[in-house]
Structure 1
Amino acid sequence: MSQSFQVDLRGIVDLLSHHLYSSPRVYVRELMQNAVDAITARRADVPTAPASVWLETPATTGDGTLRVHDTGLGLTEQQVHELLATIGRSGKRDELGFSRHEFLGQFGIGLLSCFLVADEIRVQTRHEGHPTVYWTGYSDGRYQVATGPDRQETGTTVTLLPRRDAVAWLEAERVRDLARLYGEMLPYPVRVDSELVTAETLPWQAGSRAAVTALAEQTFGFTPFDVIELNVPEAGLTGVALVLPTAVNPAAKSGHRVYLKRMLLAEGAEDVLPPWAFFARCVVDASELRPTASREALYEDSLLESVREQLGDQLRGWLVNLARQDPDRMHRFLAVHHLGVKALAMHDEEMLRLVDQWWPMETNLGRMTLSEVRRRHDVVRYSANIDEFRQLAAVAAAQGLLVVNAGYTYDAELIERLPLLDPSILVDRLDPSDLSTRFDTLDPGTELDLRPFLATAQRTLDPLGCEVVLRSFDPPSMPALYLTDRDATFQRRLRETAQSADELWAGVLSAFEKAEAQVRPQLVLNHRNPLVRRVIGLPTPELVGLTVQSLYGQALLFGHHPLRPADTALLNRSFLDLIDLAVPHIPREDS
């Protein structure tokens, strides 16, 4: 024997208020939505039928109730029983049960949202050619249908009797603000008491830049750098993307304003634009996108994904046209939003070409675009670490090498992608150890004379695993340079970690160690530097060792290299020893 489910309406209302709708304020939207859909249905049969929605607040009714009047299609008594008294039943579907796209609501639960603020809902409705029907619903699940005097005009009036704890939600000012928030874009006039809260046209369809600017200032609180028109016909979507005038955090979620058939769906919808387009906020109206059941977000489906891709293409087209038509404005845009463009260039060759031609990167010879770098040099050399770049910039320039500082977000990856634009482009990541091959070696006679000095210096730094090399290089003002191969650095840190780890992890890390001979970092002393020449002439091995330790510490600090405990101890000891040598010892007088 089949049975019917029993529904606890109070439980349903609690479910709506705590889990479906984010706030009781949605009841105003649902009431306007039903009114607009009723007018749309009536005008489908009678295009000249009157179209208006009027919300009477307690300030006008005088009895504490809120009344919503519309000139829509109205309901017959049979429809009242079918639609108002059955949860989930909606008259906005066709005979097969599919949603009819011309209507705002689809889920058949909109009227229930009124129970978030009211204990009793009264509906007075008249369908053309049928008597007026009076329906009253109660929050405990009861309802009754009665007859009464016929109303003169076709349409519906909904009356809410507020709960004691929800009276504030029906106040005139709050209702007016909510009606304007949700319904200011609606195609039919909506009045709250005597005030009109709707506009005649969408701001971006008014043909006025001032109207769109005012929309941006009112909605997001900024004057846009530029306005990009958006249009996706398959989703019935129109709108504008508003380019932010200031930089924003790329990791922060972007909130966009989305209207569905000109009714506000979400004030802070996410994932409308691609993630890389964090430099823009959009205001759009769509007719074919699907809302979630709460009508406060968009349903993620293939159509929304397609819309997101097409909106991304339109923003990309704006960037390309801006670069072609207004270079100065493009420079100003990139100065603020280069991260967004570079993020797009990570997977888009057209944007990569734009970055190559327009974004000036830091080099050791001044700021220049990657295309300018290629015009000056055959190879695009870069350093992927800012500290490494700062250490090598002056030395590389003195050797005639142009090096790009690619230590900023996306820069190294974008430089590596340049061959996609032209296979003939050569890209090389500069290894610090590569510089030593460009330094001048000393003549054999000088090197032979300096062998005792090098032997003393090497004995000093052997405990630190560093090789001492004497070369001549520019600039002469730099006394020493600490150079290390990246692979050697990795192997050294791997061994240090394994020594401090437990037996299990030490065994795991040892699997990554290479068996070949270790390449030690180098302290390259500059024979052209006057200070180094004076150090070479020091009379005792003790003084030579102390100054070499100081030069080693200075080179580590200059290159922003990580300091091991042994390095820190050496720095402290050599510093104190130098002070001790510099300060004369004054004998103490016996008292």
Structure 2
Amino acid sequence: MTSTPTTPTPAHAPAPAPNTFQVDLRGLVDLLSHHLYSSPRVYVRELLQNAVDAVTARQALDPAATVHIRLSASAGTVTIEDSGIGLTAAEAHSLLATIGRSSKRGSRGDDDHGAAEAIRGLETTRQEFLGQFGIGLLACFVVARQIRVVTRSARDPQAAPVEWLATDDGSYTVRELPSEARPEPGTTVTLQARPGAEDWAEPAKVEQLARDYGSLLPYEITFDDATGAEPRRITDRPPVWDRPFPTPAARRVALAGHCDALFGFSPLDSIDLDLPVAGVRGVAYVLPEPTSPAHRAGHRVHLKGMLLTDNADNLLPDWAFFVRAVLDTDTLRPTASRENLYDDETLAAVREALGTRVRAWLAELAASEPERLAAFLSVHHLGVKSLARHDAELLGLMLPWLPFETSDGTMSLEEFAAAHSEIHFTRTVEEFRQIAPIAAAHGLGVINAGYTYDADLLTLLATVRPELKVSELDAGAVTERLDPVPAAAELALASFLATARTRLEAQSCDVALRAFQPVSVPALYLDDRQARQERDRTAALDSADSLWAGILGSLRGSAPRARLVLNHNNPLIRRIAALPDAALTATAVESLYGQALLMSQRPLRPADSTLLNRAFLGLLEWATHSADTQEDDK
């Protein structure tokens, strides 16, 4: 790309006249409907929002004024009428058709003095308004082909009513109407649905959307479906969590009904979310069934009564995945589409405070209502474990309640710690299930930490109960707890043990002889994290080139190796040890190793698979050879 030289402008030359950006309304509507808003349904919110803001401004001007908002729909037409602040002709020009300007935001350099005064007059009540971004009424073009506004200003009683009429081709007109066209201050907005969007103007859908968005708005809103029936009330205030009830039980029943209507489930319990300093009021409903920690529940958030989103996934801490919340706030910031919360420092502080409230609820249950806590933990112990990982105080509080799978059965850490001053844990479920019966028989306290969060909690346990010794289970600890074999018996089996150790040297596995229960287990395969790391290093060394082989070889340390513990109490072990054929003994040892490895449910390395295959075929060959020999003898 080349650039064309330009002639410098003399210093005394006049500055060029500024140009004005031109906005293509059709392009703007496409942007709103396909990129900013998730659905055309938001047009009802925009209508309600403008009406509520107008009524709020009217009450700021005249606190004694009687205000109302009426919504109706019929035959592809949607109308909303309010007794709000209204607009003059100049304000209609300045505010209704200007992108980025709102009657709730100050303006500099406005050419129209009256409109500027109106803007400055409303700025004093800025914090009460729902609208934040000044897109306003034009957003209704996502469903409308024409918007007609008839309005009369409450600030200038002498001003005539004004009609603002706009179409989706980007044109609009403003004209004054006779006084009888609108005798009282306020505004009436009428939308004509564009082709293809008529469904969005159906009375049933409009009413449902109005209830969804506006049930908590601070002014009474009614809906008329033009059938002659009595207008129906849309708003339902105060929120159920702020209503008085004769008893706590009656309140719980009402909240349960509200949750069922809103989220479609009957809650296990409810938690009040009251943060007056943060301008937050609401309730969290505890899910009646377990849910995955990876699932981020969508919460329902109202901003100054208007529904902002029913899918806010950043409102509560990630560990609180066992609740669905609904709340109203006047401090949190919405995103540009006003369909979610802006994740800033304020939201982070509110999120932490709401998490503290959920934690306090758990503490209250533990202190005064253990039955309700037990019912909760039977369903959501995973969520509490997730929280307790970062909160030693809560872990101490929950010790009598959190269930763990142990070598003594399922019980709380409190109960298990009372029986074992030294606690071992396994990091995999498979390792625990292999060792649990043997540990139980020999008084070894082992906890299964193969489930989510359990290993983290056991690591933290020593800070809560410093008198306990907590460590990951290793092969040495298990072997030491098993009964030793008398020296004479072990000496008699020295040749057998030497054969076994030689045969398993290639598998990086040591051999030990012990006596343990249950007798039915002939051999036990034990390893730990260090042994697995050493085995992985050896496997990598075998397949590495010369450079990496040198590096990996230099990393060899004194890490413990896996261990095959043979059970001297098992009759099969004694029979194998007495075999006169050294080759058959070696094959039997490999079979014991393979069976123990399979029982531990660890993944097999290629070398392990080769050994299992060799041992199986070797035993088949020996069995068939023996049968042939016996046949020949006959």
The one-letter code matched in structure 2 to 1:282 is A
Question: What is the aligned-residue RMSD (CA, Å)?
Answer: 2.4
Aligned partner of 1:48 among 58, 64, 79: 64
How much has 1:326 moved relative to structure 2? 1.7
Q: Cα 1:53–1:525, aligned 2, differ >3 Å: closer, same or farther?
A: same
Residue matched to 2:86: 74
Aligned partner of 1:549 among 590, 606, 611: 590
Where does 1:196-235 land on structure 2 (aligned, <5 Å)?
A: 196-207=233-244, 208-235=251-278
Residue matched to 2:44: 28
Asked if structure 2 preserves the Cα contact closer than 8 Å seen for 1:203 and 1:212, the reply is yes
CA distance in 1, matches of 2:551, 2:102: 64
Q: Cα 1:342–1:587, aligned 2, differ >3 Å: closer, same or farther?
A: closer
Per-residue CA deviations over 1:409-462 (Å, capped at 9, x if unaligned) read: 111111111232243332222212222223444444333332232233334334
How much has 1:8 moved relative to structure 2? 2.0
CA distance in 2, matches of 1:505, 1:93: 67
The one-letter code matched in structure 1 to 2:237 is E
Q: Cα 1:288–1:489, aligned 2, differ >3 Å: closer, same or farther?
A: closer
Where does 1:144-543 land on structure 2 (aligned, <5 Å)?
A: 144-150=173-179, 151-193=182-224, 194-207=231-244, 208-502=251-545, 506=549, 509-510=552-553, 513-516=555-558, 519-543=560-584
The one-letter code matched in structure 2 to 1:147 is E
Asked if structure 2 preserves the Cα contact closer than 8 Å seen for 1:342 and 1:351, the reply is no
The one-letter code matched in structure 2 to 1:430 is L
The one-letter code matched in structure 2 to 1:46 is D
How much has 1:507 moved relative to structure 2? 5.8
CA distance in 1, matches of 2:145, 2:162: 20
Q: Cα 1:464–1:127, aligned 2, differ >3 Å: closer, same or farther?
A: closer
Unaligned runs of 5+ in 2: 1-15, 107-119, 225-230, 245-250
CA distance in 2, matches of 1:86, 1:489: 69
Unaligned runs of 5+ in 1: none
Q: Cα 1:29–1:376, aligned 2, differ >3 Å: closer, same or farther?
A: same
Asked if structure 2 preserves the Cα contact closer than 8 Å seen for 1:93 and 1:99, the reply is no
How much has 1:27 moved relative to structure 2? 0.9
Aligned partner of 1:91 among 103, 113, 129: 103
How much has 1:493 moved relative to structure 2? 1.1
TM-score after normalising by structure 1: 0.93
How much has 1:136 moved relative to structure 2? 1.4
CA distance in 2, matches of 1:19, 1:507: 57
Q: Cα 1:578–1:509, aligned 2, differ >3 Å: closer, same or farther?
A: closer
TM-score after normalising by structure 2: 0.87
SS at match of 2:374: helix
CA distance in 2, matches of 1:459, 1:434: 24
CA distance in 1, matches of 2:236, 2:329: 17
CA distance in 1, matches of 2:92, 2:411: 72
How much has 1:537 moved relative to structure 2? 2.4
The one-letter code matched in structure 2 to 1:321 is E
1:138 and 2:167 are equivalent in the alignment: yes
CA distance in 2, matches of 1:198, 1:552: 73
Deviates more, 1:47-56 or 1:453-462: 453-462
Asked if structure 1 preserves the Cα contact closer than 8 Å seen for 2:273 and 2:357, the reply is yes
Q: Cα 1:25–1:439, aligned 2, differ >3 Å: closer, same or farther?
A: closer
Asked if structure 2 preserves the Cα contact closer than 8 Å seen for 1:246 and 1:336, the reply is yes
Asked if structure 1 preserves the Cα contact closer than 8 Å seen for 2:475 and 2:563, the reply is no
Count residues with an aligned counterpart: 583
SS at match of 1:185: coil
Q: Cα 1:520–1:44, aligned 2, differ >3 Å: closer, same or farther?
A: closer
SS at match of 1:186: coil
Provide the identity percentage.
51
The one-letter code matched in structure 2 to 1:152 is P
The one-letter code matched in structure 2 to 1:201 is P
